[in-house]
Each structure stands twice: as structure tokens, then as C-alpha cells.
Structure 1
Amino acid sequence: MGNKICVDAGSMYCPCHLAKSGDCISCSLLSGKELCECDLKGICIYQNFKRNNEKISEPREGILCKVLKHKEIKTNIYLISISIPKCLAGELIHPGSYILLKDKKRKDDMFNSPISVMNVDLENNILDIVVESIGPKTKDLLNSDTVFIKGPYTNGIFGIKYFKQLKSKKVLIVTKGLSSVTLINAVNNLLKNNNEVKVFFDSCGKKIEEVERKLKELNVDLECFDFRDNENLIKKELKKGVDMVFSAGSNHFNKNTMNIVDSVDDTINLAITNNNLICCGEGICGACIVKVKGEKIKTCKTQIEPRVYLKEALK
């Protein structure tokens, strides 16, 4: 797993606490090794850290934001609209963006809930998210008119480099259930680079009509069917020529997608949703760690090659 890439490397949040503790994800020197193994272009985390007297960057702080609307869209599933600062809105439009959210009455960060961004209205600085009520953390959010938001966090998708590389290419997106909320940012990004996008929804999953409505507004080609009985429809689309597949679903769903793709052409680029448990978002608590080829990987901040993750971490 050499040359691991931290999604925060070179950003305003770098160097972080991990540089101070000797656990930097991207810099081998700051992770205790004697030789530089970094291939980051134009960035030297080690020099920046040492030049600044080993001072770390300011961490993300919770921002108090007003909840504009709660709407139950399915049983125990809610669409929440939140007014957010303009600077944060501009940071949450990228594929894989997520936030940590908690009720204003909760002081302890143990009540932070990682929530994927569904949509950002840049004109009015409104964030839309979908929350399923399943425990104290999320139930609090459904009864609050003000919440704390920490962000932006950006590692909600493994294989994000493929999004950045694509221009005037063909992309197939397959999705099931609540993971479909990640599609709006992903599709917006792909369309801006003149990519052709087609979306297949697995009809067996929970359907989020708001996501489908937004995608239809973007004039994206959508199809909905039972993947179990119509796997050949996916293979038929792949055989037409596809440059990237983005699978937005559970780990099991994503692994099945990989197997279908690889049965047609294992050189097609693959991106998948990051479904790991995330608590702090800063690589500190260890809740998100998975083992890949014997190495512990902090998945809240580290990009992992999707096929390697699906084959190794899910054994």
C-alpha cells in the first residue's frame, strides 16, 4: 500500500494531528520512516510541518446552522434542509463530500453523525441531506431547529481520482437504497466535464424520489429494474463501452458490481461508496480502520483502490 494518499494532504487542514503523532498518512518521514517515499507533486508536508515549528493546522470546528425543513419522505427516513455558510456550501459540492452532524444540545462529539451530502443549493446556501432515524444520534437531529455541522469531509468515495480524470467519456452508475444520495454531486461533477452518464437503480432498494427528480432535472438517462433478475442488462451496457463505473451501495452491493464489471472487462475504472464506520473524520479515533494486505488503513482520510479494498478488506 505504498504512497497512500490522504484526501486532506496539501489542503488548509494539513498538516494535522497525525503529523504530530507520527502517523501521517501521506508522508513517510512523518510516519517514522527514514526515507521520503512521497510522490505528492508540489507539496512537502514534512517541510511545511518543520518550517512552521511543528504547528498543526486548525482542525474543523462545528458551525451552528439553522434547520429550515424536516420532511418525512419514507417511513423513518427524512429529508432535512439546512442553511449553511456560503464558504461551506462551496466546499460540499464535490463527489464524496460528507459532514459530521449533531444536535445543538449535545456537547460531546460522540453524538456526531456522518451524513453524506445529497444536494447543495449554491444560490441560497442550503444543504439537503437524508437521515434515517435509527438511534439517539439521528433522532436528536429530527427534533432540532439548530444543529452543529463539521466539515467539509471528502472521503465518501474510494476511487475519486477517476472522477477527476474523466472528460468526454462514458460513465455507468449503479445504485441501491440510501447510497443514491451521493449521486447528485457525482453526476454534477461528471456532467461539468462533458461526460455521458447513465444511471441504473436497483428497484429492490429504498427509493429516494428526490434523488431521481434532481437527476431528471439534469437530463440524465435513468433506468430502474431488479438487478438480481436482470444482470444481463448491466453487462449489455458495459459491452457498449464504458470508461468508469461508479457503484453506490452497500459493501455487498459494490462487490457484486465489481464482479459483474470484471466479468466483462476488468480494466474499466471503478469507484465505490465508502461505507466504513466513521466517527471523528480525522483519523484519530480508529473507528474507521480496516486491514488491507496486512496494513491498517484509516478510511476516513485515505484513498484506497476500490478493487483492492473489495478483495482484501472484505475477506
Structure 2
Amino acid sequence: MNYEIKDCIDAGTEYCPCNLAETGDCILCSQMQGKKFCDCTNWKGVCIYQEYVWNGNKPNKQRKITLCKIIKKQNIDKDIIAFTIIAKHKLVQELSVPGAFIFIRNPETNSYFDAPISIMDTDVVENTLTIAVELKGIKTKKLDELSEKDDLVVRGPYWNGVLGLKNVNNSKNGTSLILARGIGMAPMIPVMKKLYANGNKIIVAIDKANFKDIFIKDYLSMCNAELIECTSMVSGELSPELVEIIKKYSESSNIVFCSGPDIFIRNVLDVISDDKNVACSNNAKMCCGEGVCGTCSTRYKGHVVKKLCKMQIDPRYIFKGRRLL
């Protein structure tokens, strides 16, 4: 692929058109961008402009904020806690896809404390969500104050926690390689389950980083995944050990999925051949999740701004032409 394909994760859903339509900042619709002609990209079967007009020139409803009950809290490693919460069936269904995430906070705090957390697992029968939280700063430490049977403020659903979703969904009946580092083990689980459901043999190389153990071993067993424990980074570069793993397995794999920090993902992309399908965790900083606050906005040469809370792109274009200052 030698050109960039842009998509909007919300296009064609009940949350489209969104607030970006009001100001001419729609990601896909040329008319909603103020142009005089129709030149939509990645048609979703719905005319965004028409929906906006039919809605009285107003955006559609926004995500709901709900109170969910914590039914289980578990310390799964140093500075990592897992919450299992019970939620409405519709929300659990909507979050049962790769890349799903929610904003959560302690009910005793205000909206400034909203923290985006990837979904680790869902159960549509019991209507539960499982998330893993790494205790880093004030937002997550406030979450740690909560106990079982306490309420948790949840806003969602959101779906752009993985970039390259098209490649994940289209990878079938082959071998898939997953590379994860640290807390990246949590958001890789829905991707692994999707690839396994698509008939793929799963090979997972994991660097537990500063954690004592690999806390997702039960999920690896569930998907019959072949586990390779390794050290992934040395002095800011990929370790020779991981480079050998990538060379050994990537050529015969239908996709390589990376879940970890940006420096890890970028170094992996430098090793993988350009014709290989890839996907990765979306590490953009997020605050509102709606493209409004600008926190997720990433700037590229040519005065291009990409709102990564909504824009779905191939991982190779996360770093290509990106301005670092």
C-alpha cells in the first residue's frame, strides 16, 4: 500500500454526524468540510450530510454516562488492578469488539478525572466488562480508592483503541503474530480473540517489562496461543531477540499486531516488510474522545491534523510525516 486510507470509526453509527460536523471538521464528508461537491471517502451506506440536515442541522446524540457496579476488584500485579463491572447489555455488546474502550472515573470526582481504558474482556451473557488499570497518576489512583460493590462512572462506547482494524478483521485462516509489551497485554486480548475466531493460529511474543508475571495466561490458553517470552527493548531499540522472532514468524503471518508504547510500535514497523498487514494499539492521548478537545490531535507536515480518537488509519501512517515539535 503506497497511499493513505483514512476512515472515521463513528461513520454510519448512531453517533454520526457528531460535533465535528457543526464546524466543518467532519473527517469523511466533503460537504460537511465546506466544499461544494460530494467526494465522500469510505462510504458507509449513509450520507452524513443528509443525516445532518434531516436532524435539523444538529449533531446526533452523544455517548451516555452511566453508573456501573464493581462486582470484582483484583490486584493482578504491582500497580495493576483489574475491575469487573456489570453494565447494560447493549453497552457490553457494543464493547465486544477489538479496539473498544471506555472513559471511567471515581464518582466522587468530576469529569476532569475521566480516564480512557481499553476493554480487556466482555461477557454478553453475564453483562460484565473487565478492564485492567495501571496505576500511574491521580486519575488512576482515584480509581484505586474504589472497592467491590462501589459504583464506577462509565462513558462509552468508543471503538478506536486499535489502528488497522480492517487488517484484523480481514485476517483469516492463517497464522497471526502478536507482539505485546507491559500493559499492552490487556488491549491485545480482544484482538487475539477476534483473530482466533477467524480461524488463525496465534503466536504471541510478550515482554512483561516491569511486571512480575504475564497476567493474561488464561486468555492465551483459551485461544491455544503459542507463547514466547522475551525482552523486547534494549536502550530504546528492539532487542536482537525480538528481531529474530519477527524475522522468523512475520513472513508466514497474515498480520502482525503490536500492543505497547509508540517507540516499540515504530521500531517494529521498521523491521517488518512494507507489504505486511499490520495493526497496533492506539496510544494517542485522549480526554473527550469526540475530537473536540484536541488532546488526541497529532500534527503532520503540510499542516495536516489527524484526530486520532476517531480517525482509523493504517499504523504506518501514524509516524510518516509526523511533526515531533
TM bracket (short chain): over 0.9
How many Å separate the matches in 1 of 2:295 and 2:270?
28
Q: Which amino acid aligns with 2:250?
A: L
Aligned with 1:279 (options 277, 284, 287): 287
How many Å separate the matches in 1 of 2:195 and 2:156?
23
How many Å separate the matches in 1 of 2:173 and 2:78?
40
How many Å separate the matches in 2 of 1:103 and 1:115?
13
Aligned equivalent of 1:192: 197
Shift of 1:207: 5.7
> Structure 2 regions of 5+ residues with no counterpart?
233-238
- Map 1:1-315 to 2 at 5 A: 4-39=6-41, 40-106=43-109, 108-144=110-146, 145-206=150-211, 209-227=214-232, 228-230=239-241, 231-239=243-251, 241-261=252-272, 265-294=273-302, 295-313=304-322, 315=324
- What's the secondary structure of 2:321's corresponding residue? helix
Contact 2:297 2:308 in 1 (8 A): yes
How many Å separate the matches in 2 of 1:233 and 1:11?
39
Shift of 1:205: 5.0
Bigger proportion of residues as helix: 1
Residue deviations 1:101-148, cap 9 Å, x none? 011122x32110000111112221121111122222112212221111
Residue deviations 1:212-261, cap 9 Å, x none? 2212122111111123141212211124x111100101000001111121
How many Å separate the matches in 2 of 1:74 and 1:186?
22
How many Å separate the matches in 1 of 2:105 and 2:213?
23
- What's the secondary structure of 2:14's corresponding residue? coil
Contact 2:4 2:317 in 1 (8 A): no
Contact 2:86 2:127 in 1 (8 A): yes
Shift of 1:309: 1.0
Q: Which amino acid aligns with 1:253?
A: F
How many Å separate the matches in 2 of 1:229 and 1:302?
33
Judged with a 3 Å threshold, the aligned counterparts in structure 2 of structure 1 residues 280 and 207 are, in CA distance, closer, same or farther, namely farther
> Structure 1 regions of 5+ residues with no counterpart?
none
Judged with a 3 Å threshold, the aligned counterparts in structure 2 of structure 1 residues 66 and 127 are, in CA distance, closer, same or farther, namely same
Q: Which amino acid aligns with 2:287?
A: C
Residues paired across the two proteins, number: 310
Contact 2:120 2:132 in 1 (8 A): yes
Contact 1:176 1:206 in 2 (8 A): no
Aligned equivalent of 2:235: none
Judged with a 3 Å threshold, the aligned counterparts in structure 2 of structure 1 residues 93 and 314 are, in CA distance, closer, same or farther, namely farther
Shift of 1:61: 1.4
- What's the secondary structure of 2:191's corresponding residue? helix
How many Å separate the matches in 1 of 2:321 and 2:103?
28
The CA RMSD over aligned residues, in Å, is 1.8
Q: Report percent identity of matched pairs.
A: 36
TM-score by length of 1: 0.93
- What's the secondary structure of 2:216's corresponding residue? helix
TM-score by length of 2: 0.90
